[in-house]
Chains A and B, each alone.
Chain A
Amino acid sequence: MARKKKKAEVSGQKQYKKRSIAAEVWRNYKKNPSAMIALVLVVIIVFVAIFAQFFYDFKKDIVKQHIKEKFQKPSAEHWFGTDNYGRDVFTRVIYGTKYSLSVGVVAVAISCIVGVTLGLIAGYYGGFIEDLILRFCEVFTGIPSILMGVALMTAFGQSIGVLMLAIGLVYAPMYCRTTRAAVLPVRDQEYIEAARVAGVGDLGIMFNHVLPNALSPIIVQVTMGVASAILCASGLSFLGLGVPIPMPEWGAMLSEGREFMRDYMYLTIFPGLAIMITVLSFNLMGDGLRDALDPKLKQ
């Protein structure tokens, strides 16, 4: 209880010292070596996702088949070997970064817009509206995300846009709950009351006063959300329901490589590693952010 109160006090100050808080968070974050490694990795991954398409030509390097060169073991020429169509796996893995990452980021953006808004409304108004929204969330979280994803993908057709939407909707209830939980302690703070007395409208209070002070858990959730969205997307693609082939999405590559696993294991190892490193980076970054945002929680 005492800790909760302290936390509210800290976030209460945030409003007046926004810049120093950001500096403080960065100062804390820097102290954590694994979080720093994760940050560097995330920067590299984002960089690769953005610029790989300028180095490789989609038609020539990614989907064109070279049947003569199929199933070559990893070598100096083909770092990760070649697949059953003779395509260079390394190039495909590098190029595929943009699919996983963009699905992760856009899906989280969708979850955020839907979830945070609903969570804000639920937390701020309370009462019947809160009940209704929470029940609604319960219905959606009652279905496992992967099954819900499968159903959504089937209903709206298989494409990368639908994949983003499906994953975004599947995870939205989580953001809704996090936001609501973060808003609850802020709602009764005196500065909210003060804003109301000063004649600020509900919307203004929600977005200018409540949200900034409930931001820390949402930031952490977003970072880790990218990680789980990428995992979920790779799972759907693995089941043949994500990004359509021949796009070099990691999950889809895994699914293709699986058929030749007995003899050509490297076809499954590298895309899996790519998923793991990306997801791990975002998770570690989220962990580091959580510690940095709320040093009191760190033991």
Chain B
Amino acid sequence: MARYIIRRLLLMIPVLICVSFVVFFLMDLAPGDIVSQMAPADATPEQIEMLREEMGLNGSVLQRYGRYLWNLLHGDMGTSLSLKRPVMEVFIERLPATLKLAFASIVIALLISIPLGIAAATHHRTWLDGSSVVLSMISVSMPAFWLGLLLIFAFSYKIKLFPSGGSGSFKYLILPALTLGTEQAGNLTRITRSSMLDVIRQDYLRTARAKGVSEKQVIRKHALKNALIPIITVLGSTLGNAFGGAVAIETVFAWPGIGRLTVAAINSRDMTLATGCIIMFTLMLNLTLLIVDIAYAYVDPRVKARYSK
């Protein structure tokens, strides 16, 4: 198991390097130049060149990437060009807000989707099943930022219950988490339902019933544990995506998360910050997926056997 984890961690390194390469070059292609933006309006071309050298932006893109990668491999993500602060510092500052939103939304999503998905599967082809299918379909088809706008309109403009944006106390978390959670719940309900439907027809549930296990326990204990694998898979990628992919929701609620930071960095051509954020993001996603794979082993003994080989 430990060897498996180490192997996976080592495999992340080339992926991260590729990601940094892709982002760095895309940023270089972008029109607009941060140096001329930062320089005073009356700066002479010489002064701009000096500033460029100061910021470490001289030379060809390959030279710059070489320098960047060299520093990166030494654990230095550089300094944000626009904020003049170390990238790592800026990133860590935004991390708590991102994690808070990600975990709050996933909790909401799980609370909705697992019971609903199970109920839909155990009441297959009833109105309950039908409405769960329709609801989850609507939730995956709705632009999440639009739902956010509707919620703001309802709960902070009409009924003044929650603030419409910003961050601070628990109150600020509710609407964004609800928005993101609803979006995630759609997918999770669908996967819970279909995976439970698969398991429910298995012979071993009949064995369990035949030995006198109550219907409730058959579903909660015997069936659910078997249905968990696909649920965990989707859960992992959903959570991973919530770390940086909820940009539009962060924008709607003025939530100070990593997604919005990254978009701002890209917009201001701050390539060290943008590349740094995306690298960190990819790292978090990969770690989440690794945790998911480890979680499999605890759920399914067959997977565990495969790892230890």
Contacts and interface: CB of A to CB of B under 8 A. Distances in A.
Contacts of B150: 268-269, 272
B243 to A, nearest CB: 8
B19 A272 contact: no
B12 to A, nearest CB: 9
Interface residues of B, number: 48
Interface in B125-153: 134, 137-138, 140-143, 145-146, 149-150, 152-153
A268 B23 contact: no
Interface in B149-168: 149-150, 152-153, 157
B9 interface: no
Contacts of B259: 144, 146-147
A209 B98 CA distance: 48
A70 to B, nearest CB: 20
Label chain B's interface by main secondary structure: helix
A155 B282 CA distance: 20
A206 interface: no
Contact of B145 (A152, A235, A262, A265): A235
Taking chain A's interface residues, is the majority helix, strand, or loop, or is none over half, making it mixed?
A: helix
Interface stretch (A175-183, A188-196, A277-285): A277-285
A135 interface: yes
Contacts of A239: 247-248, 251, 263
A280 B141 contact: yes
B141 A276 contact: yes
In this complex, the member of B248, B251, B269 whose beta carbon has the largest number of chain A beta carbons within 10 angstroms is B248
A23 interface: no
Contacts of A135: 14-15
Interface in A218-268: 227, 231, 234-235, 238-239, 251, 254, 258, 261-262, 265, 268
Contact of A146 (B245, B269, B282): B245
Interface in B250-292: 251-252, 259, 262-263, 266-267, 269, 274, 278, 281-282, 285-286
Given A139-B15, A147-B244, A272 B146 contact: yes
Given A138-B15, A261-B149, A299-B197, A143 B137 contact: no
A154 interface: yes
Given A143-B278, A231-B143, A251-B143, A155 B153 contact: no
Interface of B: 14-15, 18-19, 22-23, 26-27, 29-31, 124, 134, 137-138, 140-143, 145-146, 149-150, 152-153, 157, 197-198, 201, 241, 244-245, 247-248, 251-252, 259, 262-263, 266-267, 269, 274, 278, 281-282, 285-286
11 contacts: A146-B247, A147-B263, A150-B262, A150-B266, A152-B26, A155-B29, A231-B141, A272-B146, A272-B149, A280-B137, A283-B141
Interface of A: 34, 135, 138-140, 142-147, 150-152, 154-157, 227, 231, 234-235, 238-239, 251, 254, 258, 261-262, 265, 268-269, 272, 275-276, 279-280, 283-284, 287, 299
